[in-house]
Amino acid sequence: MGTEGDNVRVIGGRYRFEARIGRGGMGVVWRASDTLLGRQVAVKELGLDDSLSEDDARQQRERMLREARAVAQLRHPNIIVVHDVVLHDEHPYIVMELISGGSLADRIARQGPVDATEAARIGLALLGALRVAHAAGVLHRDLKPANVLIEAGTGRVVLTDFGIAQVEGASTLTETGGFVGSPEYTAPERMAGERAGAGADLWSLGVLLVAVLTGESPFRRDSLGGILHAVVYEELRPPAEAEPLLPVIQGLLQREPARRMPLDEAERLLRAYIATGATPQPAVPYAADALRPTYTPTRYDVPPAARRGRSPRVLLVAAALVAAVAGAAIAIAVLLSQQGTGDNAPPGSPGSSSRRPSGSASSASPSPTPTVTVTRRETRTETPRASAPSGYRIADDPGGFRLAVPKGFRREVDGPRVFYLSPGDTFRIGIKVTDTVGGGPGEAQRKSAADGPKNNPGYRAGKVTDTTHDGRAAALWEFTWNGFSAAEGARHTVDLCWEQGGRMYDVWVSAPVGEAGRGRAHFDAAVDTFVPSAGD
């Protein structure tokens, strides 16, 4: 009943493929014509694991078709309409409505993060979609910006790509094969190999809300192991942009599923925010188990199981999952935000005592950067510094300190500043140690910010935030600038300054705006492992 030839393919006797328009977690999406009804549709061609035996492949097809048919029964304005399910040449296909407009991920990449009101609108629409899906026993399992469409002209929010959805109680690919989904948006119970229910989709929605408000997932890391560690263990403190919806986000991002905010409560709070511009406190207080209002750098030393209330079995399962996932094909939607100070200028740049050309180039255009506040503990407790994370090494610097820097970075000195530079100077880690100054770190950073336009061409979006670092007074300075040449391109800098033992320590990282996610990881690793040779 199908034809294929002259680059034309027809399935089900009526759906004529025209062009590939996307790729989802489990297959390829095509624009097609429904020749029977004369309309445009989207057809998802579900991929099969060709390493399976004939019997296993048949079971996989049956499972996919069964779950696709369950999704086809869902009716909600914020759920993609499934028109048909077709088995053609032993391959399953899902025929869906064709939405005119890009994904939420595309929108953020082009226009940057959304404001709190729009985020609440998107969240409310997705909660409505999840309510209907969960009532029908369907779990989405891959809720992320790339799987949310925004219809052009109407702004309708449409949840799509149920390609890895699970019908509750059914055996799924996760149980029979390997991990499926996008780790940055995956609930910790799934990452730890535990059986997950509807609450896992609510966790993903909490991550999505942070991502649309700030421009990237709060669990964005450079490696799969880093993502897993962040999701399961790290204490995350979202940036200021997330604060208007913080009661909802904090409730959804509770690591223990039983403590997670229920759908009805999240819906009530988002409706209240849209109506009043303020989010009321939830009916049940949610402790900051996973979240606080400010960001804390990544802790790379894995805490004991008891610290997070998880069993040793979970630790073993999670470790095994890293190995399993590393060998699987996983689609991770990457939204990189950004990362430059008069003090961050590399050797050879304006304001430096020597001159050397920079080998960096970036074609990425600037995009908004999350404003973060580096805070750890408000008490003066000494915490042993972590060892270097994967891909880094501990540098025992002759300048009287040690810190983690990426492997392959070279050390250079320019006056009082020490630099660790990547090949081509694309990433720059800078450290400066001086005597304390009157007014402390805040005044020092504000003075540097005032000199920003003089020292950093195209200086913009500068912000200094007073904070603490290991209980000590500190100040965080972030800004975007144009780089020292057109070839270098726009850059973003994150700079933390604090006092310790009668000395002023300043650590910063400068990176191209399009590589800010990696720059942030380098900053986190440097600050989190930094130890001066003299105690305080």
| CATH at residue 85 | 3.30.200.20
- Residues 291, 294, 297, 301: is their CA dihedral positive or negative? negative
Together in a domain, 91 and 138: no
Together in a domain, 250 and 165: yes
Together in a domain, 93 and 114: no
- Choose from 3-12, 86-95, 146-155 the range with maximum mean pLDDT: 146-155
Together in a domain, 87 and 204: no
- Those residues with Cβ within 8 angstroms of residue 46's Cβ, 6 or more apart along the chain or in another chain: 26, 27, 64, 68, 91, 92, 93, 94, 163
Together in a domain, 39 and 118: no
Together in a domain, 358 and 448: yes
pLDDT digits over 296-318, tens only?
Answer: 332 222 223 323 344 433 444 44
Q: Which residues on neighbouring strands pair with residue 245, listed in sequence order?
A: none
Which domain covers residue 430, as residue numbers? 342-532
Q: Is 505 helix (H, G, I), strand (E, B) or coil?
A: strand
Together in a domain, 309 and 203: yes
- Residues 236, 242, 246, 252: is their CA dihedral positive or negative? negative
- Those residues with Cβ within 8 angstroms of residue 357's Cβ, 6 or more apart along the chain or in another chain: 348
Q: Choose between 25 and 417: higher pLDDT.
A: 417
Q: Is residue 300 part of a domain?
A: yes
Together in a domain, 141 and 83: no
Which of 97, 126, 150 is the last residue before a domain boundary?
A: 97
Q: Is residue 337 part of a domain?
A: no
Together in a domain, 307 and 376: no
Q: What is the mean pLDDT of the chain?
A: 76
* Secondary structure string (H, E, C) spanning 378-392: CCCCCCCCCCCCCCE
| CATH at residue 521 | 3.40.1000.10
pTM score: 0.55
DSSP letter for 3, please: E
Quote the distance between the C-alpha of residue 9 and its chain's center. 37
pLDDT digits over 192-223, tens only?
Answer: 777 778 999 999 999 999 999 999 899 988 78
Q: Catalytic residue positions? A: 142
Instruction: Provide the domain count of the chain.
Output: 3
Together in a domain, 352 and 300: no
Q: What is the pLDDT of residue 322?
A: 46
Amino acid at residue number 121:
R
Q: What is the pLDDT of residue 170?
A: 41
pLDDT digits over 13-34, tens only?
Answer: 999 999 998 775 567 889 999 9
- Those residues with Cβ within 8 angstroms of residue 518's Cβ, 6 or more apart along the chain or in another chain: 222, 336, 427, 511
Confidence of residue 47 (pLDDT cuts 50, 70, 90): confident
- Tally the residues of the chain: 536
Together in a domain, 466 and 528: yes
Q: What is the pLDDT of residue 419?
A: 96
Q: Choose between 1 and 427: higher pLDDT.
A: 427
Together in a domain, 349 and 404: yes
For the segment 158-177, the average pLDDT, to the nearest whole number, is 54
| CATH at residue 289 | 1.10.510.10
- Residues 324, 219, 186, 44: is their CA dihedral positive or negative? negative
CA-to-CA distance for 517 and 309, rounded, in angstroms?
A: 29
Q: Is residue 331 part of a domain?
A: no
Q: Is residue 156 part of a domain?
A: yes
Q: Which of 208, 203, 232, 228 is nearest to 218 (CA)?
A: 208
Which of 300, 326, 352 is the last residue before a domain boundary?
A: 326
Q: Is residue 472 part of a domain?
A: yes
